Amino acid sequence: MARTPPETLYTAALPTPLGEARVVFDRDGVLCAFDWTSHEARMRRLLRRHHGPAQPETAAAPSAVRQAVADYFDGQVEALARLAWRTNGTAFQQAVWRALCEIPAGRTESYGQLAARIGAPKAVRAVGLANGANPVGLVVPCHRVIGADGSLTGYGGGMERKRWLLAHEGVALRQAA
């Protein structure tokens, strides 16, 4: 049986106030991964998991991606919602990622609230795992999920970035004790 060759993906670096971001997109300009260059190994692992053995080729980022990222960091915090994205994952992961996109900028939800909203109130840990397996960070806003007590919890891009992103979006953060 002949194997299907891996799809062709492309990658580009984008400057942001939080350091360089790395985007991966398909031939149609649809985003397949977003992460920080300082966390590129993590992004590549997730990319392999969700898109197979493709080795992205360097190319210019699509203008829609460049513009949405620039607009987001310029204060238009809903700008990333207009980007098309796609990734593979289990049905559960896909449900979590779609639900993440429903959390508006400036708001947060706990893992428990997110689990309840997708109809799986006892699946709090599974929601956390799906959140952590999100290859399209920032665009699929996993940074908007916090602990039930309002505390900041893990973020693949680092806690300082998470804190900055939430403050940028207008979230009033609880002060550390």
Question: Residue 26: helix, strand or coil by DSSP?
Answer: strand
CA distances from 43 to 33, 106, 157, 161 (A): 7, 25, 10, 16
Q: Would you state the pLDDT for residue 146? A: 93
Question: In the predicted model, is pLDDT for residue 34 greater than 70?
Answer: yes
CA distance 98 to 92: 10
Per-residue pLDDT band for 33 (boundaries 50, 70, 90) equals very high
Per residue, what are the HEC states of 153-177?
CCCCCCHHHHHHHHHHCCCCCCCCC
Task: Please give the Cα distance from 40 to 145 (Å, whole number).
Answer: 22
* pLDDT at 53 (0 to 100): 80
Tell me what the mean pLDDT of segment 128-140 comes to.
Answer: 93
**Count of other CB atoms within 10 angstroms of residue 15:** 12
**pLDDT tens figures, 64-121:** 999 999 999 999 999 999 999 998 899 999 999 999 999 999 999 999 999 999 999 9
Enumerate the active-site residues. Answer: 142
Distance CA 31, CA 83 (A): 7
Residues above pLDDT 90, as percent of the chain: 72
Q: What is the pLDDT of residue 45?
A: 87
Give the pLDDT score at 177. Answer: 44
Q: Residue 117 gets which letter from DSSP?
A: H
Tell me how far apart the alpha carbons of residues 117 and 123 are, in angstroms, rounded to a whole number. 11
